[in-house]
Structure 1
Amino acid sequence: MLAYQQPYTEPVHDRKRMLRVLMLSWEYPPYIVGGMGSHVAGLVPRLGGLATDHGRQQVDLITTRYAGGYAVETVNDFVTVHRLDLPPLDPHDLYNSVVASNEQLLAYARQLVLDRQYDLIHIHDWLAGPAGVALKYEWKVPLVTTIHATERGRHQGQICNYTSQQIDALEWQICHEAWRVIVCSNFMRNEVHRYFQQPQDKISVIPNGIDPARLHHCRPEERRTLRTRYAPNGERLLFYVGRIVHEKGLHVLLQAMPKILSRYPDVRLLVGGKNSRKMWPLAHELGVERSVVFLDFISDQERDMFYQIADAAIFPSLYEPFGIVALEAMALGCNVIASDVGGLGEVVQHLVNGLTVYPNDPDSIAWAVDQLFSNPTTAQQRRARALSMVRHHYNWSNIARQTSRVFETVVTERRQTDW
C-alpha cells in the first residue's frame, strides 16, 4: 500500500468567473510514451487562462509520476500539474492494475474538490476512464473524453484476447458517458462512430499539433558531422523513427529495401526506436542488413537531427490515428513518405506536402522512394508547402482555442440542463 499523498492546496486569489477543468491523463512530461503524452504536453499549458463566456479557464491536471517530476508543478497562473506515485503496471494483468491505480486518481481528485468546484472533467483515453466516470456521477459534472486510439484499431479491427475485450468495453463506456468526444482526425471520428455507436454530431475533430520552437534545429556544422558519420561516401539516407510494434509497419519498410537497393544501391536506412535491433533477423533474411543501421533508442534531439540530414522520413504505419511524427519531420524540412492510412493520410497529402503509399505494400514504398529521388525539384516544392501547413494549421495555440470552445459549449449546455 502506498503512503497517502497530500493534495495541493490552491492559493488564495480571485476565484470569480473561472471555468474550472479537472483533467486526467496517464501521460504528461517527463513521462511520455506515445502520441497522447505529446498531445497533453502541447495542449495543457495553452488551455490555461483562455477567456470563455464563463470566465478564464483554470486547469488542474492529475497524472502519473513514473518518470519523476515535481509532485505539484505550477505551469502558469492558470495550470497546475499534480503527479501521483502509482505502483508499476503489471504487464500480465494490465487492465486490472490500471483500474486499481484509478482509485488513487479518484482519491486525490476528491481532496482537490474540497476547496474548489469543477465545471468539467476531461479524460484522455481509457487509462483514466474509471476515475473520470466515477467523478462525473459524484459531482454531476459533464465529462469530455478524448480518444487518441482504440484497442480494436491497434489490432486491425480485432479483439484478440480478454484484456483487449476489457479495454474495448471501457472505451465504449467512456464514450457513452461523455457529453462530448474529441478525436484527432476524421478517420478517428468514423472509427469511434463505428466501434462505439456514437453519433457523428457528438464527436469533435481537433487535430494534434507540434511546437516548432521546441524542436532542435541543427547548426550547419552539426549536420555535416552527422551526415559524414552515417553517409561518409554520399549515401542517400532514409529514416524511420517510432515504436517497434507491428502496427507501425517497420517490417513493410524492410521488405521494400531489396527493391529500393536494386535501383539505388547507395541507400542506407536509419531505424530509430527502442529495441529496434530485434528487427535485425528480418533484415538479414532479406539480405539488406549491411544497408540498415539500427539506432535503438534515440532522444528527441537526436531524432530532430536525423530529420535534418535524411533524404526522406518514411512512416509505413498500418494503423495511425494521427501521425505527429510526420508533422515533426515536415517542420524540420524533411521529405515525408507515409502510408495512406488513418489520420496519417489526412496529414500527408499526396503530391502536395509529401508522398503517400498503399499500406502494407513494399512495392508502393519503393515506388515513392524512386519518385522522390527522380524529381528533386518537385520534392523541394512539397517541403515548402509542408512547412507552411505545419505553421498555420497545426499550432497548439489554435488547437487549444478549438478545445476551449468545446469546453465552453459543454458547460453552457450543462447549466441549462437539469441533473
Structure 2
Amino acid sequence: MYKPYRYLALFGTLGLLWCGFTHAVEFKSPPISIEQYLEIVRQNNSLIKNASLDVQIAGANKEAQSLYRISPTVSYSRGPIQNQTPYTPYNIPASNSYSLSFTVEGWGKRSAREKLSQSQINASTTQLENTSNDTQTNALFTYINTLRLLLIVNSEKATLDKLATYPSAQKVTDAQKFLKTQIAKTEKDLHFASLNLLNYSGDALKTPPLPKGNLNIPMQTYRIEDLIDQAQNNRAEVLNLMAYIEVADKNIDLTMKNRNVDVYPYIGQMRTSQYQYSNGANYSLPAIGPLPAQTINTAGTTYTAQNQITAGITIPIPINNFLQNADIVRAANQKLQNEMQLRDLKVQIGVQVLQASLQYEGAKENLMNAQKAYEAELKKPSADSVAKIMNVRDTEEDLLNSKTNHLKALINLWRQSGNYSVPTL
C-alpha cells in the first residue's frame, strides 16, 4: 500500500542532497552472460589454475615412479702404481679393473609405486574439481547479487520514465527527486558489487563487468531422500575423500611391498698385460774345493696377459622388518582416519541437505507471497496514479529481492546435494 508519509518524510532531506548525489556511475565494459563469466573464471582464477598444476605434478610423478630403479654403477681402477722399487728385481705389474653393479628391486615394488601414483593423480583431479566448484559457486553468487542491483536500477529508471509522462506537480517532482536519489545510490552499490566480480577472474577483466539476464527461475520440487542419497555419493568433498582413501590403501600396499628386499648383482673384470718378472740376473759363485768359480745367468720369467672375471650378488638380511611394524601401522591408520572422516562427512551432508531444503522451502514461500503482492498491486484500483506507480515499484523491488533469495537458496540446495549445474539467467 502506498503510504504518502513514507515518502514525504524523506523528500525534504533527499531534496537537499539531490544535486550533489545523483551523478550516474558509468560502466565501460559490455555486459557478459553468466556462462561467459564462469568460463573466464575457470580459465584465469589462480586457485583453479594452481589445482590444475597439482594434477600435472601428480602426472609427472607417476612417470618417475613407474621407472625400474636398477641404479647401475660402473667403476674402473688401475694399479698398483708405486713410486719406488723395494729391491731389484722386484716387479709388480699394473692391472686394469672394471666392474658393473646394479639393483634388482624387491618383488612388486615398482607396480605398487605406479598404482599409488595413479591414485594420487585421481585425488588431485577430484581436488581440482572441488576447488573449481567452490570458486565458481562463489563467483556465481557474486554475479547474482550484482544482477539483482542492476535489475533494481532498471526498475527505478523505468518508474522514473513513467513519471516523466505526467504533468508537472509537486507530488510528481518529489517522487522524481526521490527516485533519482535512489538510482544514484543503487548505481553506486551496483558499481561496488561489480568490482567483486574481478576477484574471481584473475587479470582477464580490466574493468568491472555488468551482468545480464533475469532472475525468473521456476520453483522446484524435490524428494529429500533422493537429494540426500545423491549428495552422499556425488558431493565433491565425498569424491575427494574417497580418492584419498584409495591413496591410503595403495600406500599400505606399497608399504608392504617395500619390505621385500632388493638384491645387488655385480660383475667385474681385471686385465693384466704381459710382463717379465726379471730382466735377467748374474750370480757369481766362488771356488769351493775342487769346484772352480762360476758365473750363472738367469733370463727371468715372462708371464702372459691375464684376464680375470668375477661375479656375485649381495642380499641384505631384513632383520628390522621382523622386529617392528611401525610403518604398516602408520599407513593403515591413515586409511582408517580417512574412512572415519568419510562416515562423519556423510552424516553432516545429510544434515546440510535437510537444512538447505528448509531454507529453500522458506525462500519459495516468500517468493510466492511477493509474487502475489506484486500482482495484487498491479490490479489494485487507485485514484492516485503517482502513488500507485511508486507502490508498484516498491513491490517490484521486494519481488526482485525474493527472486534473488529464491535463486540463491536453490543453488545452495543444488550444491549441498552434489548438483553443480549453472542456472540459465
- TM-score normalised by the chain length of structure 2: 0.20
**Greater share of residues in helix:** 2
Higher RCO (Cα < 8 Å, 6 or more apart): 2
- TM-score normalised by the chain length of structure 1: 0.20
